[in-house]
Amino acid sequence: MMKVTDYIALFLIKKGVTDVFGYPGGMVTHLINSFAKYEEQIHVHTAYHEQAAAFEACGYAQASGRLGAAFATSGPGATNLVTGICNAYFDSIPVMFITGQVNTFERKYPGMRQRGFQETDIVDMVKGVTKYAVYVETADRIEEYLEKAYWMAMQGRKGPVLLDVPMDVQRADIRLKGFLYAEAKRKTIEYPDVLDFVYRAQKPCMILGAGLKVHNRADIAAFVEHMGIPVVTSMTAVDLLPCGHPFFYGYIGAYGARTANFIIAKSDLVLVLGNRLDVRQTGRDRTDFAPDAVVIRFDIDPKELDYPIRSGEIGIQADAQDVIAYFMTKYKTNNQRHAQWRQICDTIAEKLKGMDNNICNSFVEKISRYVPENLVITTDVGQNQVWVAQSYRVKKGQSILFSGGHGTMGYSLPAAIGAYYAMKKPVICLNGDGGFQMNMQELEFIRREKLPIKIFVLNNYALGMIRHFQEMYFEGNYAQTIHGKGYETPDFERIAKAYDIFYISCETPYDISDKFMQIDGPVFTEIKLKGNTYVYPKLEFGKANQDQDPLIDRGLFEYLMNLEIK
């Protein structure tokens, strides 16, 4: 016999979860007490907002590849998790969310608005943004529900699950039955037609997406070198290959590298792995994307393949790991096969080199010089995120965590906390002033635990991305985005001191040194950006991806588009 919440704690331990994030509340007191019984095996960390706890669990799972876990009480505690649940769902992050609920005998009747205090039907709220969400109506179902939830979170396209556990179920005793979910059998796959396409192509390229980030980076690099064709990525996958890799030409899309967008526009074959090709990557008119190419998409999620780029596209449901293994075995490598095409790609890169660099990019590049190998970098959402994707020079073993599909401001700081507990190494945490303020209460978590998180706030005193949008489309009416117009920033030096965190101020890239890495514990570096800031290149909606603003010289544009294999 065992208490339900004791079983939950031991279940997470058995699945390799070492750290859980949450916020105390009346309906999870039994769960908290059970975690405390096993504190040498699983550590519970109190966040200062349930949303932050959800992001911390996401960061833990992204950095480690293991299941993340977060908990909250019923009602407002549960609903505060929802943004983090969405983030995990859209970025395919395996996280188990456990919410407390009112006693089963307090549950509302059909048609009743509410019966128990803080009673909220969280399961129905999140069914559309979880792989599995269930109300645990009786204690004897907990083994089955937990096993199924774990299996759903980790198999196929990973994602979040939620168990809503009433108070009386939590405190009940159960007799264990040993319920298990069977592992799905992997299928042997064959793609002979795809091999023929690659052999025949004159100008092939690969698009690698964040779906590959669950795989070993050395295996991905070996795969790229085996294929011997140019590689571009999605923005959230820019860390798949280290900076300077000879086959890597940057990331595609609206804010992507001009070189990457030109390569896609000129290709005659595009292999897509682990990337869903959303509108930010393809542009409004999807038929303008790789217009002369055969597009072959591999995706573990068959629903993604139901939305093709164009008629005639080849969609194959498969795990990227199996696809890579197939090509490594079956594709006959030849470094000279596409040498002329790679030379054209190198020419494009050389002609466009440094065209869009600005001081903000320079700050990010300078920071990256001092970050050692094998560390995690977290980003927020907004201009700062794009500057990181454009200019952070990834070293061996480094990974960058993004909030991609949901695009959640306030992600970087709590994600850095989760990443620290996953890796037990310093974490570099990059933010804008807007997103940072959404979860800056987690500075107290960092101070309390003395975490070696190196925080950077690129402060442009504005919601920079929206301000730029207003400049382009609303004649400079900066409503709610700049100082004096409804948006303000605090004195970050005083904020840092209030949390007893070492503060550094920088106004030029020359002010950046390795000091932030030399100081033990947390460091808060404020980068004070002067004047309006911009992200370039930037695609005007409706244009072809390779024709980004500011427009390049038309002669150069035509020259690059007309480069061909002789």
Q: What is the full per-residue pLDDT of the chain (566 aa) written as tens digits?
A: 899 999 999 999 999 999 999 999 999 999 999 999 999 999 999 999 999 999 999 999 999 999 999 999 999 999 999 999 999 999 999 999 999 999 988 888 888 888 888 889 999 999 999 999 999 999 999 999 999 999 999 999 999 999 999 999 999 999 988 877 766 666 666 787 899 999 999 999 999 999 999 888 999 999 999 999 999 999 999 999 999 999 999 999 999 999 999 999 999 999 999 999 988 888 777 878 999 999 999 999 999 998 888 878 999 999 999 999 999 999 999 888 899 999 999 999 999 998 888 999 999 999 999 999 999 999 999 999 999 999 999 999 999 999 999 999 999 999 999 999 999 999 999 999 999 999 999 999 999 999 999 999 999 999 999 999 999 899 999 999 999 999 999 999 999 999 999 999 999 999 999 999 999 999 999 999 999 999 999 988 888 899 999 999 999 999 999 999 88
Written as one letter, the residue type at 35 is F
Torsion angle of C-alpha atoms 527, 532, 537, 539, degrees rounded to 10: 130
Tokens of residue 182, six digits: 């069977």
| The pLDDT of residue 307 | 86
Terminal Cα distance for the chain, rounded: 76
DSSP 3-state assignment of 3?
strand
Chain centre to alpha carbon of residue 291: 29
| The pLDDT of residue 187 | 65
Residue 192 and residue 197: Cα distance in Å, rounded? 9
Tokens of residue 364, six digits: 């990010």
Tokens of residue 410, six digits: 């306030």
Name the nearest CA neighbour of 396 among 244, 250, 517: 244
Tokens of residue 408, six digits: 């959640």
| The pLDDT of residue 527 | 98
How many helices and strands, by DSSP H and E, does the chain display?
Answer: 24, 20
CA distances from 565 to 107, 317, 339 (A): 70, 33, 10
Residue 35 and residue 19: Cα distance in Å, rounded? 10
By the 10 Å C-beta count (0-12 exposed, 13-18 middle, 19+ buried), 457 is classed as: buried
Beta bridge partners of 459: 528
Sign (positive or negative) of CA dihedral 439, 440, 446, 447? negative
Tokens of residue 394, six digits: 């990834």
Question: What does the buried/exposed string (b/e) look like for 116-152 if buried means 16 or more CB atoms within 10 Å of the residue's CB?
Answer: bebbbebbebbeebbbbbbbbeebebbbebbbbbbbb
Tokens of residue 96, six digits: 């188990």
Question: What does the buried/exposed string (b/e) look like for 16-38 if buried means 16 or more CB atoms within 10 Å of the residue's CB?
Answer: ebbbbbbbebebbbbbbebbeee
Cβ-contact 453, 427 below 8 angstroms: yes
Residue 345 and residue 391: Cα distance in Å, rounded? 19
Cβ-contact 459, 438 below 8 angstroms: no
The HSE-up count of residue 128 (CA atoms within 13 Å, CB side) is 2
| The pLDDT of residue 85 | 98
CA distances from 5 to 99, 100, 101, 161 (A): 12, 11, 13, 17
For residue 181, report the phi and psi dihedrals to the nearest 5 degrees: -100, 130
Question: What does the buried/exposed string (b/e) look like for 293-311 if buried means 16 or more CB atoms within 10 Å of the residue's CB?
Answer: bbbbbbbbeeebbeeebee
Cβ-contact 317, 290 below 8 angstroms: no
Torsion angle of C-alpha atoms 294, 299, 305, 311, degrees rounded to 10: 0
3-state secondary structure 233-278: ECHHHCCCCCCCCCCEEEECCCCCCHHHHHHHHHCCEEEEECCCCC
Written as one letter, the residue type at 501 is I
Kindly give, in sequence order, each residue whose CB lies less than 8 Å from that of residue 115, ignoring residues fewer than 6 positions away.
102, 106, 107, 108, 109
Cβ-contact 84, 415 below 8 angstroms: no
Residue 151 and residue 153: Cα distance in Å, rounded? 6
| The pLDDT of residue 183 | 64
Residue 173 and residue 270: Cα distance in Å, rounded? 56
| The pLDDT of residue 293 | 94
Rg from Cα positions in the chain: 25
| The pLDDT of residue 185 | 66
Residue 550 and residue 553: Cα distance in Å, rounded? 10
pTM over 0.85: yes
